Amino acid sequence: MVMQSCVERDPITHISPYGMAAVSPSRVANWFRADDLKKAISNIYDATSGRLLEIVNYNVYGEQYVVSGERYTIWLLGKALTWVGEQGQPSMPQLARFCFNLVATTPRSSTPLDVPKTKSVLPLQGFDIPFHSRQLRGVVPLFRSFLENRLPSADTFAYQKQLDGRYITNVYSKELFTITVPFALKLLEMTSSQYIKELLGHYVTDIPDNGNKKPDHEKDAPWDILTPNERGRLLLREILSYQFASAVQWIDTQKTILQNGFRRIVEIGPTKTLATMFSKTLMRLHEYGSEGLDLIQELSSEASKISGQENKSSGATSAVEILSFETDREKLESILNEEEEVDDSDGNADDEDTRKQSN
> Angle CA(60)–CA(188)–CA(147) in degrees, nearest 5?
85
**Location of each CATH 3.30.70.3330 domain in the chain:** 3-131
pLDDT at position 355 is: 41
CATH of domain 3-131: 3.30.70.3330
What pTM was computed for the model?
Answer: 0.81
CB-neighbour burial class of residue 118 (10 A; exposed 0-12, middle 13-18, buried 19+): buried
Q: Is pLDDT above 50 for 359? A: no
pLDDT at position 283 is: 83
Confidence label for 271 from pLDDT (cuts 50, 70 and 90): confident
CA distance 245 to 66: 14
Predicted confidence (pLDDT) per residue in 57-94, tens digit: 999 998 999 999 999 999 999 999 999 999 989 998 99
Q: Is pLDDT above 50 for 216? A: no
Q: Is pLDDT above 80 for 223? A: yes
Average pLDDT value over all residues in the chain:
84
Q: How many CB atoms lie within 10 A of CB 185?
A: 17
Q: Is pLDDT above 50 for 170? A: yes
> Angle CA(161)–CA(204)–CA(159) in degrees, nearest 5?
10
Confidence label for 29 from pLDDT (cuts 50, 70 and 90): very high
Q: Is pLDDT above 70 for 352? A: no
Confidence label for 275 from pLDDT (cuts 50, 70 and 90): confident
- Contact indicator for 119, 30 with CB cutoff of 8 Å: no
Instruction: Name the phi and psi angles at 168, rounded to 5.
Output: -115, 120
pLDDT at position 234 is: 98
Q: Is pLDDT above 90 for 103? A: yes
pLDDT at position 296 is: 81
Q: Is pLDDT above 80 for 193? A: yes
pLDDT at position 343 is: 58
CA distance 238 to 63: 30
Predicted confidence (pLDDT) per residue in 295-305, tens digit: 888 877 776 77
Q: Is pLDDT above 70 for 16? A: yes
